[in-house]
């Protein structure tokens, strides 16, 4: 019981710090622009450009696009917030030292960081949902897509912690962005179905967690293939979470 | 004992930064770690506060092993590092709030205001920390650990680069902390600081503790008198002697060419002797 209270208080403290840091950042125009403007531009450009003349999987393109952008935007926001916060705190401001030397368990630090990333990614996703409704009169959320969104947020926030703990300098974060996150966001079914890809590429893409988010996001019902995608994301989250806790408890400068 | 560190070692590549360091600090004691740049003082502090993993050795804080009971050990200790590690974008108040939450001390808002007042930071309370001067940042970092009320405080170079009046102010704060029964481990380059604050000091050089004791004991052991002479190139040469007779004999055997001075030794002379390896 006591340990549970400790855990909750630890999570709360970590979350408080992230939220205060986020509040400062949101005040800067460039920050909001970077995290929300580009998906909104994609939404308007491709949405008006192709409109309902194009249909994928029997769905009007607007809906397809909005759902893809929810996946992509939530990924980017959850991952980036946490990755930047951890790596900046470790390598630049050194304020990560205050977390690591506090009487807060690695599990609580991990959970607090992941929750903060999820929260920000969730808000960004809601902006996309709202924009989709306003611009195209399409409300994109079903209960399955909310599940997809939560799984996506949880995995990419956890990945953000792990990458933030591992990188040696701030430059390598750009490398990971350009070689992993960027291609993933374009090929995982955000703008067009994965089926349009040639066989080999399709095989590679099914290894991308974001591809599974897209599958769940657009599924009409929780059938067997969708369940597989859910399990893949859960497993990936478990692995990232475990790696994060492990790296945190072995932390040494 | 509040702190019991035994056989600490840390190597960075080929460099043995800390080599078999052991320390014990009692409740309410102020212990000073003295030594030149690169002696390994900060590395010792980082190993004690669990920021750096020791290659070997154990640390117990108030009986809690820092490895097996990390959370209890961390709860009993607070550290003011050599380099500022505040969240620069956040205000003084927010930095204190976060620290209090992390330390799990439920502090009323007026307690934070009170600490800010004690440290003369009222007009900076809402200012982002990155806009403060070096001395103000240092005060925020010390104010922060005051919220936690730990049993042991680690202060790494608490007065480095501060002006004399703030140095005195920080000395006063350190004395006040001791009055509450809190033990302090501080590192410093300033021997006057160690002499006026510390109950015991250890002199470190190249990763090892060379001498440990009260400042008076160290001076007595190294030699209570100093013979200061001028070498041919004009440099001053300091040598420690146990008593005046030994100095008289030395001068009799080898009269100094220029002027010379004989005076009572200070801790500074002992530290300098360790640093030059004599
Ligand atoms: N992270 C690190 N990687 C490699 N070498 C390190 C690292 N940290 C410290 N060192 C080396 O270990 C030695 C001891 O450093 P430390 O910072 O403990 O000295 P110090 O006594 O605190 O010095 P100062 O008085 O300058 O603060 C130095 O030679 C330093 O270069
Ligand atoms: Mg140092």
Concatenating the DSSP letter of every residue in A49-94 gives HHGGGSEETTEEHHHHHHHHHHHHHHHHHHHHHHHHHHHHHHHTS-
Cα–Cα distances (Å) from B59 to A249, B10, B151, B248, in that order, read: 17, 13, 15, 47
Q: Which atom of ligand 1 is nearest to the CA of B207?
A: 14
Residue B56, chain A, CB below 8 Å: the answer is no
Q: What is the pLDDT of residues A86-104, one digit of tens each?
A: 999 999 999 999 999 999 9
Q: Which of A130-144, A176-190, B61-75, B219-233 has the lowest mean pLDDT?
A: B219-233
Is 80 exceeded by the pLDDT of residue A169? yes
pLDDT at A1: 62
- What residues of chain B lie within 8 A of the CB of A26, using their CB? none
ipTM: 0.88
The predicted model gives A216-224 an average pLDDT of 86
- What residues of chain A lie within 8 A of the CB of B83, using their CB? 94
**Buried/exposed B213-238: b ≥16 CB within 10 Å, e otherwise:** eebeebbeebbbbbbebeeeeeeeeb
Pairing of strands B200-205, B77-80: unpaired
pLDDT at B244: 79
Task: Return the residue whose CA atom lies nearest to atom 1 of ligand 1.
Answer: A253
Is 70 exceeded by the pLDDT of residue A151? yes
* A103 → closest Cβ in B71, B88, B89: B71
CA distance A185 to A176: 13
Q: What is the pLDDT of residues B152-190, one digit of tens each?
A: 999 999 988 788 888 888 898 899 888 888 999 999 988
CA A19–ligand 2 middle distance (angstroms): 32
CA B207–ligand 1 middle distance (angstroms): 9
Q: What is the pLDDT of residues B228-249, one digit of tens each?
A: 887 777 777 788 888 778 888 8
CA distance B17 to B5: 16
A136, A133, A129, A123: which is closest to A62 by C-alpha? A136
Cβ(B17) – ligand 1 distance below 6 Å: yes
* H-only helix segments in B162-253: 164-179, 191-197, 215-222, 244-253
The model carries a pTM of 0.91
Number of domains present in the structure of chain A: 1
CA distance B263 to B91: 50
Domain housing A88: 2-249
Cβ(B188) – ligand 1 distance below 6 Å: no
* B85 → closest Cβ in A17, A20, A94: A94
Task: Return the residue whose CA atom lies nearest to atom 22 of ligand 1.
Answer: B42
Given the structure tokens 């909001």, which residue do they identify? A32
């Amino acid at each position: 019981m006591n340990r549970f209270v400790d855990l909750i208080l630890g999570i709360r403290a970590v979350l408080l710090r992230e939220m205060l840091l986020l509040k400062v950042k949101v005040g800067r125009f460039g920050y909001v622009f970077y995290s929300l403007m580009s998906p909104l531009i994609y939404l308007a450009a491709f949405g008006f450009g192709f409109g309902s003349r194009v249909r994928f999987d029997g769905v009007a393109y607007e809906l397809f696009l909005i759902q893809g952008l929810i996946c992509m935007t939530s990924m980017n926001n959850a991952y980036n917030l946490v990755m930047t916060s951890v790596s900046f705190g470790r390598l630049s401001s050194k304020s990560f030292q205050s977390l690591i030397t506090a009487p807060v368990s690695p599990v609580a630090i991990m959970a607090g960081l992941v929750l903060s990333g999820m929260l920000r990614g969730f808000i960004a996703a809601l902006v996309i949902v709202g924009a989709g409704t306003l611009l195209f009169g399409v409300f994109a959320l079903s209960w399955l897509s909310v599940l997809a969104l939560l799984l996506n947020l949880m995995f990419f926030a956890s990945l953000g912690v792990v990458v933030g703990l591992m990188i040696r300098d701030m430059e390598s974060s750009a490398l990971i962005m350009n070689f992993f996150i960027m291609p993933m966001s374009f090929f995982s079914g955000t703008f067009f179905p994965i089926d349009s890809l040639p066989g080999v590429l399709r095989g590679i893409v099914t290894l991308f967690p974001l591809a599974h988010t897209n599958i769940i996001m657009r599924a009409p019902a929780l059938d067997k293939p969708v369940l597989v995608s859910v399990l893949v994301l859960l497993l990936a989250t478990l692995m990232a979470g475990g790696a994060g806790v492990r790296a945190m408890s072995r932390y040494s400068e | 004992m509040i702190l019991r560190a035994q056989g600490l070692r840390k190597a960075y590549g080929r460099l043995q930064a800390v080599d078999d360091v052991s320390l014990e600090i009692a409740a309410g004691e102020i212990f000073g770690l003295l030594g030149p740049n690169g002696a390994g003082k900060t590395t010792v502090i980082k190993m004690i506060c669990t920021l750096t993993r020791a290659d070997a050795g154990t640390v117990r804080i108030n009986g809690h092993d820092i490895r097996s009971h990390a959370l209890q050990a961390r709860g009993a200790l607070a550290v003011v590092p050599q380099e500022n590690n505040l969240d620069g974008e956040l205000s003084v108040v927010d930095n204190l709030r976060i620290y209090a939450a992390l330390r799990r001390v439920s502090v009323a808002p007026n307690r934070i205001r009170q600490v800010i007042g004690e440290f003369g930071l009222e007009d900076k309370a809402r200012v982002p920390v990155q806009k403060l001067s070096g001395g103000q940042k240092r005060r925020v970092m010390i104010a922060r650990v005051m919220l936690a009320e730990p049993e042991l405080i680690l202060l790494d170079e608490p007065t480095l680069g501060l002006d004399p009046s703030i140095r005195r102010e920080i000395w006063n704060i350190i004395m006040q902390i001791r009055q509450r029964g809190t033990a302090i481990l501080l590192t410093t380059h300033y021997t006057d600081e160690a002499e006026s604050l510390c109950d015991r000091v250890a002199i470190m050089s190249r990763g090892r503790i060379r001498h440990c004791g009260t400042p008076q004991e160290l001076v007595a052991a190294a030699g209570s008198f100093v013979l200061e002479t001028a070498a041919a190139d004009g440099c001053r040469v300091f040598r420690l002697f146990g008593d005046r007779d030994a100095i008289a004999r030395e001068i009799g055997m080898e009269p100094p060419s220029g002027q010379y001075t004989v005076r009572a030794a200070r801790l500074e002379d002992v530290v300098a002797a360790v640093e030059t390896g004599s």
